[in-house]
A and B are shown apart, each in its own frame.
Chain A
């Protein structure tokens, strides 16, 4: 087991096997889901760390050929499926492993629980790992579908009618997206005769002897990219293909929202990044300049429209959901800049690093925000932004976490949200894409527009009812006095409980994850430079082709 090339296989197989074990064991011991999942995901974390240390350490790019079919000849296509771990996939694997464990902590007490949840959840993790690690475009589709089906199940696990509708909508739209992707893959197969990413890249570049020159301008290839990009934009919820996403986020059980907001759209954006970089490669975008322009335009619209829609929402989870539309727009925008034919080497490099940092940073921040929202909902049943009024005093820890994460989202330095934006804007400016730079800079103010509403409600709006207003003005010495009096009053109407306890409703796991996400977001801001250094070889390699 000393050869790290086995890690990718284990990373994918372990959660899927564990999902089956959970199901079977659940027949006999219905409460065994949590311990089994915990063990599986802790092991998964260890594997992820092993893989990351190998990839970022000395090994660099790891390739594992499933079934060891190999290649018939020196320059022939691979026969079997390859799993590939490079810096980008290792980053994703680490992120997924970390968030998977966090979600387990979040749902421990607050739910959802039970055998079906843990089984579907482990399937989801397996699918996500598969998408991150596969080196085969068809295999990617399979894992996308595993991810998708697991997510539909989880969204619907709320057992409410709106959740069922949301899940159905997600099922239809998501499957359409996956089908579009599959169509694109079919076209690629027709054009080249292979599904292996590395072989595809080489064939499209015209390297094999049986093709006459680069195929980038082949209508088949162009159509294929259009299908694939559209399909993945659906998965990443890019405006105007985002329609499944707010409903799914809002109606899913809170714990599930944390997982899908942090991971599922993220994996869609990752898949887009991966296909663009490793299959079509920058040379494709150079040969067809219009493609990058279209991507940048669509993404810019998504950035602006997502924020505008977020401002218009009254429900907390919907606000954050639309915020994701905007933030993934930013990631795709960065990808577009990195691949833009006008971008020089340094611009492309900065933009690509920015895309990866923002992808990771957003996952942490959005997961944390949904966790904090979940905690506040458990504490005070706060579902709309107006419900947040005065919670800064009732749930100080969760409110502080939400405020910090909100600031990170806005891009207040030194947290990670700013760092990603800095790289992306440097890339845009270096590439002379001035309107794009303006959109990125303005996105700060757009994000602020909905985040500021949260602050205002949390800290500067008195709680609605009369007795809670008493807690709003406790002056120095009477702080504890007011608290006590308030607690007494609330006991009467029976809706609020023991206010002297800062977070009575939210279990420790929820609070800890929200706070941990806030701290991690700030630490990542400072670790950005090292991370960029670690990504450097990967970036130069994918961009240098």
Chain B
């Protein structure tokens, strides 16, 4: 166990910071710009990975700029917990970098330079959070992460996107600039330092009320980014961002930065013993358990695929927080392992949602019946990842959930194990209809899905009233009145431009980042043509005009948007002709990662890393 002074933690942060001006400077040459993006991702991963063997052996890499404020250094340290997060973010960025190129070019998006620059900045901040040595340094990067991701959320430059961006800034700055900063300052005042691992002593002897207050502020501040209820609502709204953002940032880097912050607070700032003495673990666990159940229930009622995934993310992030706040070593192992496990699975799901959007402009689940014919590989990957979410063995989610269940029972809190199991059932309830619909139904012959689209608590009156409704290609939107409407936040009404209903979000109607040219929407033949032109990004200028027009008129043509054509889904073969490999490759790679993590967790390094962390904490 030794600490090595090294530039490597700094390089890992700096490489993507340096890339930003290069990306901006090469805005006239998209191929150069995108190559820089990919090379940076690879370089970042290489730097982080190069530290892994030593860290697994108990060494740590440290770099310090010197004193930043009295008693606080601006320092980076690659310790096992930091490595877990940094390794994950940088590895998944490699896949996302490729995917984002395919996605942005496929949709012919505007402001791609800003997009890639902000993306690189976000990753720099995420790795900075991972390697920060003390609370103040983590706060610096935490705020920078909020700043860097804002342009990605508001990317669309529409009213919805700006509203989502405002909400995002408000939530994250309240969480960061108010709560985390307040908690950090309080810890500094109480313990005289903010360095991880050095504060527990001071906090255990401090005034318990203040120590609890600091814990509450830190947990809530990081919890806002981790989507803990009731401060979760920024996340579904942030789904207006392009899908690579929703995937890597709002399923991996940003939200996990929140979960990671909670981990730092529990494991390194307070330490499980002090948390247990203060009695603050259980309330946090209760909030997490509530969140994971409530978010799963809400996810049931989301018609928009990305929103359903967002609520699923909220639910799954609470698994992590729950595992950490139960404080037992096995539960902590489960919670920490769920960080990579969920990342791989959820990234797969988001990539699938994105590719469906690029290829067919379909965003709503009822329109996806039979889409397995059109996008077989995509939907297979989706099925695998969804199974993992529900905790079915051989996929990553099972391993972490197993640890969580055992851990919950070990600390005599079996009630939380029950919550986890119920949540697993709910996961199946909201993912299975998608998979089932994709492979076993067709646009013309979709079954009713009472759990998802019927009123909550069952139907009143004769059943055949529902059946009178034609089972059209738009699927069955239930009459989600009353509680359903309020909870679900989305339902019918997409086709009519009437004012927003209570509980409905504007984003449901104007889904995120579609900038598609209307020509390809309903005509499969044209869609096929566009496939060929997608992969190189040699879009014509005329194309642009159309994009702009479409952007501003999407209210008008939204009703014709997405879904299968008049003749149902066209059949594509399993050889990748459903899309471009720039999009399919990353999906298959990440889905494979989820399987590897589920079948051989030790060989995938992550479990080993988690065990090193847990040993270090309990030692």
Contacts and interface: CB of A to CB of B under 8 A. Distances in A.
Interface of A: 350, 407, 410-414, 418-419, 421-423, 425-426, 429-430, 437-438, 441-442, 444-445, 448, 452, 455-456, 459-462, 469-470, 472-482, 526, 528-529, 532
Nearest to A396: B24
Given A469-B548, A475-B108, A475-B547, 5 more contacts: A418-B140, A461-B162, A481-B541, A526-B74, A529-B70
B139 A413 contact: yes
Interface stretch (B168-176, B245-253, B264-272): B168-176
B544 A478 contact: yes
A411 B108 contact: no
B: contact size bracket = 35 or more
Contacts of A460: 151, 154, 157, 161-162, 165
Contacts of B151: 459-460
B115 to A, nearest CB: 10
B165 A456 contact: yes
Given A441-B181, A448-B169, A475-B108, A430 B189 contact: yes
Contacts of A459: 114, 151, 154
A429 B548 contact: no
A442 B552 CA distance: 37
A418 B111 CA distance: 30
A441 B214 CA distance: 14
Contacts of A480: 28
Nearest to B34: A476
A474 B182 contact: no
Interface in B530-565: 537-539, 541, 543-544, 547-548, 551-552
B533 to A, nearest CB: 13
A470 B547 CA distance: 11
Contacts of A478: 539, 541, 544
A429 B189 contact: yes
Contacts of A445: 170, 173-174, 177-178
Contacts of B494: none
B178 A476 contact: no
17 contacts: A414-B74, A414-B140, A422-B185, A430-B189, A437-B182, A441-B179, A445-B178, A459-B114, A474-B110, A474-B544, A475-B112, A476-B30, A478-B541, A478-B544, A479-B28, A526-B68, A528-B68
Interface of B: 27-28, 30, 33, 65-70, 74, 105, 108-114, 136, 139-140, 143-144, 147, 150-151, 154, 157, 161-162, 165-166, 169-170, 173-174, 177-179, 181-182, 185-186, 188-189, 537-539, 541, 543-544, 547-548, 551-552
A532 B70 contact: yes
Contacts of A441: 177-179, 181-182
Contacts of B543: 475
B182 A529 contact: no
A470 B181 CA distance: 42
Contact of A448 (B136, B170, B185, B538): B170
A407, A414, A445: residue with the most chain B Cβ atoms closer than 10 Å: A414
Nearest to B114: A459
Contacts of B136: 422
Given A459-B151, A475-B544, A410 B177 contact: yes
A529 B544 contact: no
A478 B150 CA distance: 25
Given A414-B140, A429-B186, A529-B68, A472 B157 contact: yes
Nearest to B140: A413
B181 A444 contact: yes
A421 B548 CA distance: 43
A459 B150 CA distance: 11
B136 to A, nearest CB: 8
A350 B165 CA distance: 35
A429 B162 contact: no
Nearest to A411: B177
Given A444-B177, A444-B181, A473-B548, A412 B147 contact: yes
B175 to A, nearest CB: 10
B120 to A, nearest CB: 16
Contact of A419 (B66, B69, B139, B178): B69
Contacts of B552: 469
A538 to B, nearest CB: 15
A444 B178 contact: yes
Contacts of B30: 476-477
A50 to B, nearest CB: 28
Contacts of B170: 445, 448, 452
